[in-house]
Structure 1
Amino acid sequence: MKAMILAAGLGTRLRPLTNTIPKPLLPIAGTPLIVWNLLLLKRHGFQDVVINLHHLGPMIEQAVGTGSRYGMRITYSREPVILGTGGGIKQAEPNFSGAPVLILNGDTLVEIDLEALWTFHRQRNAAATLVLRSDPDAAGWGLVEVGEENRIVRITGRGLSEPTVTQPRMFAGIHILNPRLLREVPKGKASSIIDAYVSGIQRNETVLGYDHQGYWSDIGTPERYGQAEHDARAGKIELSRRNLSPPAS
């Protein structure tokens, strides 16, 4: 099983912190966020991981290395010009060898059974599966409308036009995609992967939602970063549950 961590972002909402340290290296309870995510992937059987880099990328590469200390193989996809989620995943596509890949946002702190997610995706032969959450401010995050049999009908108002009963959700920044959805993504140009998902929905591809009710945090703002730090210190999410020790500092 292959995975990719999106780690190229500028972290503008966390400035001045991110002027000198990339967001994936910000510590949560003393351990860089990207290490939390690598250990989550490792615990659930993902050993081959691609990490895309742009803002302060060499710092991430120096901190994480080849992945050998985690028993993983890490490949880097360097972006001289930032490519967004769509362009970044497209550039990394040769590393996927035509197989489905799990994508994880580099600013997400989450406790989720990735093996169960992978099984859900595979058993339904989905083109893509997006991890979703119920949130009172789903529209503020970017409304995802889910219809029958977990099929996503619209994302931020784009998708199928037919009226249907849907449930409001927000995208949690974790997804599995079949590389065939990348065919229309322009290479070397900045874009959002959401555009590829909307196109898939409009072609009646099986783009599914997978509800997550466990711990989740996006550390994209100082307030949410502070809350995630508090949650980790309070034991709401524990590094020890990932069954591996973080590397020595």
Structure 2
Amino acid sequence: MKAMILAAGLGTRLRPLTNTIPKPLLPVGGTPLIVWNLLLLKRHGFSQVVINLHHLGPMIEQALGTGSKFGIRIIYPHEPVLLGTGGGVKQAEPHFSGEPVLILNGDTLVELDLEALRDFHRARNAAATLVLREDPDAARWGLVEIGDQGQILRITGKGLMNSIPTASRMFAGIHILHPRLLRQVPKGVTSSIIGPYVGAIEREEPVFGYDLQGYWSDIGTAERYTQAERDVRAGLIRLEDRQPVEPHVPLK
């Protein structure tokens, strides 16, 4: 299975830092954020990673190169126009070879057993598996409602309207999808990946949620960036051994 890191965004909420440095290259604990994710992927057996580029993309490509120094191979699809999570994945589709792909957000710092996630996805023959988190502000992030077997029933109120959810979660921005879900996604058009997921749920294809218990932070604002630095200093997430921290550390 290949992996993809979404790294094309503008990082507007972190300006002026991101005026001259793309957000994936912002250092966390002295190491670029995207390198944390590359090392996580490598540790769990991923050897080929697709990284889409737009804002200050050449800086990311120059910093990471071919990926050989991380023991992986990196492929860089460029987006002349920012395409969003749906359009960006669609443009990269030829690199997936028709196989499921693991997708991570380039601005997320996470500790997660990716092999267990991959095994979960395969065991259920899922069309998609979304990594989810418990969060009291789940509705603000985008409410995901799941059933008693872990199947996702609705995302932001869209999906199987007659089903009764048993739990509420938020989407952590990490997911595995089968490229067949991209068939109706227009190429070269900005879109969200949530649309294909809602469509699959409405068709009653198997779309599952996988609960995240380890560290997670969306480094989308200056406050969360500062908190991530504090968390690294406190040892809540570590670069070297990448061991999970228990209990689950909520976003602050």
TM-score by length of 2: 0.95
Residue 246 of structure 2 is matched in structure 1 by none
Residue 117 of structure 2 is matched in structure 1 by 117
Letter in 1 for 2:15: R
Residue 233 of structure 2 is matched in structure 1 by 233
Letter in 1 for 2:9: G
Give the secondary-structure state (helix, strand or coil) at the position aligned to 1:227: helix
Runs (4+) of structure 1 exceeding 4 A deviation are none
Letter in 2 for 1:57: G
Per-residue deviation, residues 67-104 of structure 1 (Å, max 9, x unmatched): 00011000001000000000000000000000000000
Shift of 1:242: 4.1
Alignment partners' CA distance in 2, 1:152 and 1:242: 29
Letter in 2 for 1:174: I
Give the secondary-structure state (helix, strand or coil) at the position aligned to 1:77: coil
Residue 58 of structure 2 is matched in structure 1 by 58
Alignment partners' CA distance in 2, 1:51 and 1:163: 37
8 A contact 2:111–2:242 mirrored in 1: no
Residue 212 of structure 2 is matched in structure 1 by 212
Residue 74 of structure 2 is matched in structure 1 by 74
Alignment partners' CA distance in 2, 1:163 and 1:102: 28
Residue 184 of structure 1 is matched in structure 2 by 184
Residue 169 of structure 1 is matched in structure 2 by 169
Give the secondary-structure state (helix, strand or coil) at the position aligned to 1:148: coil
Identity of aligned residues (%): 77
Per-residue deviation, residues 100-154 of structure 1 (Å, max 9, x unmatched): 0000000000000000000000000000000000000000100000112110000
Alignment partners' CA distance in 1, 2:43 and 2:183: 31
Q: How does 1:142-157 map to 2 (within 5 A)?
A: 142-157=142-157
Letter in 2 for 1:34: I
Residue 39 of structure 1 is matched in structure 2 by 39
Shift of 1:213: 1.3
Alignment partners' CA distance in 2, 1:165 and 1:237: 32
Letter in 2 for 1:61: E
Shift of 1:163: 3.9
Letter in 1 for 2:143: L
Letter in 1 for 2:209: G
Give the secondary-structure state (helix, strand or coil) at the position aligned to 1:51: strand
C-alpha root-mean-square deviation of aligned residues, in Å?
Answer: 0.9
Give the secondary-structure state (helix, strand or coil) at the position aligned to 2:76: strand
Letter in 2 for 1:24: P
Give the secondary-structure state (helix, strand or coil) at the position aligned to 1:40: helix
Residue 246 of structure 1 is matched in structure 2 by none
Give the secondary-structure state (helix, strand or coil) at the position aligned to 2:165: coil
TM-score by length of 1: 0.96
Q: How does 1:190-205 map to 2 (within 5 A)?
A: 190-205=190-205
Alignment partners' CA distance in 1, 2:12 and 2:174: 21
Alignment partners' CA distance in 1, 2:147 and 2:223: 33
Alignment partners' CA distance in 1, 2:203 and 2:178: 15
Matched, 1:89 2:89: yes
Letter in 2 for 1:166: T
